[in-house]
Amino acid sequence: MPLPKSPRFIQTWLADAEGERAAARAALEETPASVAPKFFYDRLGSHLFEAITELDEYYPTRTEATIFASHGAEMAKAIGAGMALVDLGAGNCAKAARLFPLLEPRRYVAVDISVEFLRDALRELQRDHPQVEIAGVGEDFSTRLDLPADLLGDDRPVFFYPGSSIGNFTPAEALGFLSRVRERAGGGGLLIGVDLVKPRAVLEAAYDDGLGVTAAFNRNALLNLNRLIGSDFAPGQWRHVAFFAEAESRIEMHLEAREALDVSWPGGGRRFAAGERIHTENSCKYTAPDFADLLMRAGFDTPRRWTDPAGWFAVFWAPAR
Ligand code: AVI
């Protein structure tokens, strides 16, 4: 039996490791301190995020899945078959794989910062779909989107950005990011999942679950930072904080020092007062009309939209002629 082919893999994440370390240290030295949400996603963080998606309180993943299950065929008709499907933040690639029978991509390019997790997922996917040309890109696509042209071939580029990860950008950053996608999506478009505004209690429970999985996910960013910059954060000294900030229409996640703490890293360090916070994530919640407007400001054509019956989540198909 021939050996299954290995997906091609390109890695740009941490090509400038010293630059990433300097930026992470600088963000910690500011007041208020912050850690970019990309630091959630080492291999353990990706597994913890997978666990979050199984929680009763975390409605986005299963709500989005019901929208794909109910309307996937209509989406596929709107998009058209045969394409290079570019999955941004692919994770375990499960969402895209579920759409393969409907979208029938000729190529699949998975992009994620969690390099090892992505490699594992792609090996399995290639075994199950030997007919699809599969490639992986280990990249921090929040700031750049460098896809070698030969990865897409002559196929129409259809970008796939499910899960409402767009909410992890501020609206201004989201506009910049969507504009970068639009520049590369000519002849294709963008299929994107977006979390919508809903009652505060539902939102806050989703980001502060009873089992403490989200708290572990939040604290794991400190362990990832310890490895990257050589800091000595002790995760147990930090309390998980998550709340809905109404004015900004976003969930904010923070880590709060349980007592006065000194944290050091090679060449520096700082003191955190008791109760002082490190801002780790925003998760913006949109209204459907506001998000459609954002897509059009980024240069996409009038989008189509599908929602669940409660109107908690939306999937948009934004064509790019
Ligand atoms: C990846 N992203 C869409 C998740 C979210 O809901 O903002 C990350 C997350 N943070 C806490 N729980 C899940």
The string of pLDDT tens digits covering residues 184-195 is 999 999 999 999
How much is the average pLDDT of 273-301? 98
At 2, the pLDDT band (50, 70, 90 cuts) reads: low
The string of pLDDT tens digits covering residues 59-106 is 999 999 999 999 999 999 999 999 999 999 999 999 999 999 999 999
- Residue 144 pLDDT > 90, yes or no? no
At 212, the pLDDT band (50, 70, 90 cuts) reads: very high
Contacts of 290 (CB under 8 A, 6+ apart): none
The string of pLDDT tens digits covering residues 232-242 is 999 999 999 99
- Residue 35 pLDDT > 90, yes or no? yes
Pocket test for ligand 1, best of 164, 283, 313, 315 (most atoms within 8 A of CB): 283
CA of 172 to the centre of ligand 1 (A): 19
Phi-psi sector, 249: left (phi>0), alpha (psi -120 to 50), beta: left
CA of 278 to the centre of ligand 1 (A): 17
Is the pTM higher than 0.85?
yes
Q: What tokens does 288 get?
A: 């459907």
Which pLDDT value is given to residue 254? 99
Protein residue closest via CA to atom 7 of ligand 1? 283
3-state SS class at 216: helix
> How far, in Å, CA of 111 to CA of 84, rounded?
13
At 197, the pLDDT band (50, 70, 90 cuts) reads: very high
> How far, in Å, CA of 254 to CA of 27, rounded?
14
CA of 321 to the centre of ligand 1 (A): 31
CA of 283 to the centre of ligand 1 (A): 7
Which residues in the chain belong to E strands, given as ranges?
Answer: 8-11, 33-34, 84-88, 107-112, 133-138, 157-161, 189-195, 238-245, 250-257, 261-265, 268-272, 277-284, 304-307, 313-319
Name the average pLDDT for the chain: 96
Protein residue closest via CA to atom 12 of ligand 1? 207
C-alpha closest to that of 22 among 224, 229, 233: 229
Percent of the chain with pLDDT over 70: 99
At 172, the amino acid letter reads A
